[in-house]
Amino acid sequence: MSLEKILSISGKPGLYQLKTQTRNGFLAESLLDGKKISVSGRHNVSLLSEIAIYTLTEELPLREVFLKISEKEDGGEAISHKEPKIKLEEYFFEVLPDYDEERVYTSDIKKIIQWYNLLHKNDIKDFSKKAESDELTEDTNVIPGTESPELKPARASKVGVTKASSTRKGGSTKNTSARKT
Mean of the pLDDT values across residues 54-73? Answer: 94
Mean of the pLDDT values across residues 89-100? Answer: 95
Is residue 88 within 8 A of residue 80, CB to CB? The reply is: no
Mean pLDDT estimate for the chain: 78
Q: In this structure, is residue 177 part of a structural domain?
A: no
Please tell me whether residues 112 and 94 are part of one structural domain: yes
SS3 93: helix
Domain interval for residue 82: 51-121
Q: How far apart are CA 125 and CA 31, in angstroms?
A: 14
Please tell me whether residues 43 and 73 are part of one structural domain: no
Please tell me whether residues 55 and 115 are part of one structural domain: yes
Q: How far apart are CA 14 and CA 116, in angstroms?
A: 11
Residue 180 has a pLDDT of: 53
Q: In this structure, is residue 83 part of a structural domain?
A: yes
Q: In this structure, is residue 23 part of a structural domain?
A: yes
CATH number at 18 reads 2.30.30
Q: How far apart are CA 86 and CA 99, in angstroms?
A: 15
Q: How confident is the model at residue 102 (pLDDT cuts 50, 70, 90)?
A: very high
Amino acid identity at 76: G
Q: How confident is the model at residue 75 (pLDDT cuts 50, 70, 90)?
A: confident
- Taking only the tens place, the pLDDT of each residue in 30-53 is 999 999 999 988 889 999 999 999
- Taking only the tens place, the pLDDT of each residue in 133-179 is 344 444 444 444 444 333 333 344 455 543 333 444 444 445 555 55
SS3 82: coil
Residue 3 has a pLDDT of: 85
- Residue 132 pLDDT > 60, yes or no? no
- CA distance readout (Å), 68 to 24, 113, 153, 173: 37, 12, 28, 46
Spell out where 55-177 has E strands.
59-61, 140-142, 149-151, 157-158
Q: How confident is the model at residue 54 (pLDDT cuts 50, 70, 90)?
A: very high
Per the model's pLDDT, the better-predicted residue between 105 and 157 turns out to be 105
Nearest to 4 by CA among 121, 162, 128: 128
The residue length of the chain stands at 181
